[in-house]
Amino acid sequence: MNFFDSQCQSGPHTEAQFGVCDDQNHTRAYVDTATQKKWVATVHNPSQHDVFFTAIDKCVMQDADEPNRGRCDGMLTTDRALYLVELKDQRAHWREHAVSQLFSTVEFLHQHHSAELQRFQYKKAFACNKRHPAFVVVQHAEKRRFQRLGFRVDIQATVVVVPATL
């Protein structure tokens, strides 16, 4: 399982703003720069860093791989940051499932790429829902669970790429 497989990547994306989409039709997630109404997550990249998108579900991992474990839709990486994104388009009962998928993906990353994770100064997991794009407070227990593995977790549909000067 290679989360850094170039065959599952697109980019570099250097736009100041772009979206991550999931058409919910059993195909993999992807980056879009033109059709904002399709965006589930909006990526703000004001410094226009090179951002690579990796499709995790349906590329790094196929549906038959690890059938009893969840995985998120994709991963955004820069030279200093790694952002996991789970994309939802549901009205109810989505948060717990999204956070569970993200945590499972963090565990997969640690299992298969613990050395590579060390190069990223910032690691964050985002549960994104186009029907609920505003920030939602994450329970303290969930925050601690992710922090033990070196990640922060947010429930919101906006991913801000960390500037190089921080």
Q: Which of 94, 84, 76, 79 is nearest to 130 (CA)?
A: 94
Q: Is residue 109 part of a domain?
A: yes
Q: Which two tokens stand for residue 104?
A: 């499972």
b/e per residue 6-19 (b: at least 16 CB within 10 A): eebbeeebeeeebb
Mean pLDDT score, 49-76: 92
Containing structural domain, residue 16: 6-160
Identify whether 120 is part of a domain: yes
Q: What is the pLDDT of residues 117-145, one digit of tens each?
A: 999 999 999 999 887 656 555 676 788 88
In a domain, 1, yes or no: no
Cβ-count burial of 28 within 10 angstroms (0-12 exposed, 13-18 middle, 19+ buried)?
middle
Q: What is the pTM (predicted TM-score) of this model?
A: 0.92
Residue at 166 is within a domain:
no
Q: What is the count of structural domains for the chain?
A: 1
Q: What is the pLDDT of residue 165?
A: 58
Mean pLDDT of 94-109: 93
Q: Which residue has the higher pLDDT, 68 or 16?
A: 16
